[in-house]
Amino acid sequence: MDQPTVTAYDAAAAAFAADWHAQPAPADLHALVRRFFRRGGRTADIGCGSGREVGWLDANGFPATGFDPSEGLLAQARALYPGLTFVPTALPDLAGIPAESFDNVLCETVLMHLPQDAIAASVQRLVAILRPGGCLYLSWRVTAGADARDAQGRLYAAFAPSLVTAAMDGAVILLDAPATSASSGKPIHRVIARKHVATGEAKR
């Protein structure tokens, strides 16, 4: 993960949390989760921030654990959702998460905070932590032209969607499309994929 980005989130975690929780509910994201994720399946939110989507997932039939590299944001998440679990870890390694651990993996507007040379490895790792037949939802803020940083120092990498889809060996792509986030109003790109089930192996 880009360390200046993590530092920016740590420095203003309460303000970021207040902003995210004040935004409209992401009805578009929720509709896609209901359509593609396995209800009742163990779910990971990678880059969970202050936990808004972990709370929604867990309350709507997708028992969820949140993961994030920012200890400041995790502190906000634990205060807002004291009954849920939030764990520090970062892409691309996702240290502490075994392979084939989750039926569903959500990674919402996170990839753009990674250096370009870490994106493919991060996607491969996200696929690896899925169980066979599991579903991965990925999205990122679209930045045109060159990489940029905002006023807080957060990295917004500029990259083609093909960098993501080319790294999805072992999965079939179900959705690959630009969109506008119903929550933030920002341009994003979404990819949804399902991990292959090996021949003769039943879906768990």
| Digit-coded pLDDT (tens) for 119-177 | 999 999 999 999 999 999 999 999 999 999 999 999 999 999 999 999 999 999 999 99
Residue 194 clears pLDDT 70, i.e. is over it? yes
Contact 197, 172 (CB under 8 A): no
Q: Which two tokens stand for residue 179?
A: 């969109």
Phi, psi of 14 (to 5 degrees): -65, -40
At 203 the pLDDT is: 43
- Region label for 101, one of left (φ > 0), alpha (ψ between -120 and 50) or beta (otherwise): alpha
Residue 115 clears pLDDT 90, i.e. is over it? yes
Average pLDDT over residues 19-46: 96
Nearest to 2 by CA among 187, 109, 168, 157: 157
Mean pLDDT for the chain overall: 94
Superfamily of domain 3-195: Vaccinia Virus protein VP39 (3.40.50.150)
At 199 the pLDDT is: 54
**Position 42, amino acid:** R
Stretch (H or E) spanning 178: strand 171-180
pTM over 0.85? The answer is yes
Average pLDDT over residues 34-41: 97
Task: Kindly report, residue by residue over 62-93, the tens digit of the pLDDT.
Answer: 999 999 999 999 999 999 999 999 999 999 99
Cα–Cα distance for residue pair 108/84, rounded to 1 Å:
19
Q: Residues 46, 63, 180, CA angle at the centre, nearest 5°?
A: 50
